[in-house]
Amino acid sequence: MNIGIFTNIYLPVISGVVTIIENYRRELEKQGHKVYIFAAKQPGYKDENPRVFRFKSIDLNYKISYPLPIISSPRISRTIKKINLDIAHTQHFFVCGQIAWYYAKKFNIPLVFTQHTRYEYYTHYIPYLPKEISKPLALSLRAFYANSCDAVIAPTEDIKNSLLKYKVKTPIFIFPSGIDLERFSQTDDEAIREKYNIAKDKIVLLTVSRLAQEKNISFLLKSFKKISLKNPNIYFIIVGDGPSKKELEVESNKLGLKDKVIFTGGLNWQEIPSFYKVADIFLFSSFSEVQPTVITEAMAAGLPIVAIKASGIKDAVIDGENGILTPNNIDEFTQAVIKLINNEELKEVFSRKAKKIANNFSSKRATEKLIGLYNKLITEKKKTRKPNNKSFTSFRDKFNF
């Protein structure tokens, strides 16, 4: 198959969506398929992969920390026609979602949409609109777009229910996103401890996240302050970058945690597994997740999890088996972390169970399901193929863009 993946964000950006795309791309290519990535141009970045095609992009210089693609590109239109795509798979309903829709209709191929994002938690990125307007607007536009596709992929049951609530009639398939399990079972933590001057007898807490408002990292800093007062023999590593990084560093310093909290900044994806290896417990406080790959990665590395109970988290973390889920309460969260720190036997039980559960999220298994869906849609499209006179302009007008 010739598979086109359309995405607003791609390398060198490090995010859950990019990780999922790369896991699928590598596994699809292992199985003999050709994957073409269509994404926004990143200034100063050169792709090593010859099957990556970049749209000209625009940096809004707003709250989004990556450029967005400019929709029109005669050059890419000619490229897509030449490579003869069998299917278009978009990772977003906005911007690249419109692009994928246009080319799917133009070349009469199936269109798949994966909902990676809980858009209702990202409405603060929409300027000039209050949340009471922007939230239902975003969800309604998502539903409208989903109903123009041939299939929708929901990583969890909660996301499927959310789509159904907004009257999505397109067939919805629940496909948990997969990870490369081997990356997290063969790592070395010595270089990390040496780099950040962390002695072997020190306890390390870890989170891996984009540093942005919706990720709720401030909650973790406040909790860690309480944890460190109970046990000074402890460090907290925050892996990731984003628009809130400077603000969080200032908050960390005000809390008196400058020597105990390590902000790594953005890292190459090959570096991240070693941070899971060095850690003792993985912390997570976001409400905005669909199915956070970092949780699955942490489990594959054998880390017990302490997280706020929220949609997307409870699909992977079983409270009392491979981690502890708490309400959105700093004191209860803190107590859960301290409980694990003080109970080595419980940590080991959670670690073994975490690895076992992570096996259900292998990229090989996830990709085989995806290939099955692709083949089904391609076959159905060939049976019902008819000339399509819809234009991108009419689609854009419906969205009032």
Residue 262, phi then psi, degrees to nearest 5: -115, 120
Task: Let me know whether 238 and 261 are in one domain.
Answer: yes
Task: Let me know whether 242 and 132 are in one domain.
Answer: no
Mean pLDDT across the chain: 88
In 3D space, the residue among 219, 240, 337, 229 whose CA is nearest the CA of residue 287 turns out to be 219
Q: What is the mean pLDDT of residues 204-221?
A: 94
The pLDDT of residue 357 is above 70: yes
Task: Let me know whether 23 and 93 are in one domain.
Answer: yes
d(CA 118, CA 16): 13
The parent domain of residue 243 ranges over 181-360
The pLDDT of residue 256 is above 50: yes
Residue 36's pLDDT is: 98
Q: What is the mean pLDDT of residues 187-193?
A: 82
Asked if 276 contacts 187 with a C-beta cutoff of 8 angstroms, the reply is yes
The burial class, CB within 10 Å (0-12 / 13-18 / 19+), for 401 is exposed
Sign of CA dihedral 47, 238, 322, 277: positive
Task: Let me know whether 197 and 110 are in one domain.
Answer: no
Query: How confident is residue 401, by pLDDT bands cut at 50, 70 and 90?
Result: very low
The percent of residues in the chain predicted with pLDDT above 90, rounded, is 63
d(CA 126, CA 141): 13
Residue 69's pLDDT is: 72
Query: How confident is residue 385, by pLDDT bands cut at 50, 70 and 90?
Result: low
d(CA 15, CA 66): 11
Asked if 80 contacts 74 with a C-beta cutoff of 8 angstroms, the reply is no
The pLDDT of residue 384 is above 50: yes
Query: For 215, which DSSP code?
Result: G
Question: How many domains does the chain fold into?
Answer: 2
The beta-strand segments (E) located in 216-310 are 234-239, 261-265, 281-284, 305-308
Which domain CATH number covers 100?
3.40.50.2000
Task: Let me know whether 174 and 189 are in one domain.
Answer: no
Task: Let me know whether 370 and 354 are in one domain.
Answer: no
Asked if 144 contacts 119 with a C-beta cutoff of 8 angstroms, the reply is no
The pLDDT of residue 269 is above 90: no
The pLDDT of residue 397 is above 60: no
Task: Let me know whether 377 and 356 are in one domain.
Answer: no
Most confident of 140-149, 155-164, 262-271: 140-149
Secondary structure (DSSP) of 323-367: EEEE-S-HHHHHHHHHHHHT-HHHHHHHHHHHHHHHGGGBHHHHH
Give 25-29 contacts, CB < 8 A, sequence gap 24+: 26/180, 26/363, 27/178, 27/180, 27/363, 27/364, 27/366, 27/367, 28/3, 28/367, 28/370, 28/371
CA–centroid distance for 2 within its chain: 24
229 contacts: CB under 8 Å, gap ≥ 6: none
In 3D space, the residue among 240, 286, 206 whose CA is nearest the CA of residue 65 turns out to be 240
The pLDDT of residue 125 is above 80: no
Q: Given strand 203-208, what is the order of strands in its sheet?
A: 261-265, 234-239, 203-208, 281-284, 305-308, 323-326
CA–centroid distance for 39 within its chain: 16
Give 389-398 contacts, CB < 8 A, sequence gap 24+: 390/105, 392/71, 392/98, 392/101, 392/102, 392/105, 392/106, 395/98, 395/101, 395/102, 395/148, 396/98, 398/144
Task: Let me know whether 230 and 340 are in one domain.
Answer: yes
Least confident residue range of 182-196, 214-228, 288-302, 382-396: 382-396
Task: Let me know whether 354 and 391 are in one domain.
Answer: no
CA–centroid distance for 75 within its chain: 29
Task: Let me know whether 197 and 171 are in one domain.
Answer: no
The percent of residues in the chain predicted with pLDDT above 70, rounded, is 88
In 3D space, the residue among 330, 337, 336, 278 whose CA is nearest the CA of residue 302 turns out to be 278
Task: Let me know whether 94 and 211 are in one domain.
Answer: no
Asked if 313 contacts 289 with a C-beta cutoff of 8 angstroms, the reply is yes
For residue range 305-338, list pLDDT tens digits in order.
999 998 778 878 999 999 999 999 999 999 999 9
DSSP-based three-state secondary structure for 211: coil
User: What pTM, to 2 d.p., does this model score?
Assistant: 0.81
Residue 84's pLDDT is: 94
Asked if 81 contacts 73 with a C-beta cutoff of 8 angstroms, the reply is no
Task: Let me know whether 106 and 241 are in one domain.
Answer: no
d(CA 115, CA 154): 6
DSSP-based three-state secondary structure for 287: coil
The burial class, CB within 10 Å (0-12 / 13-18 / 19+), for 145 is buried
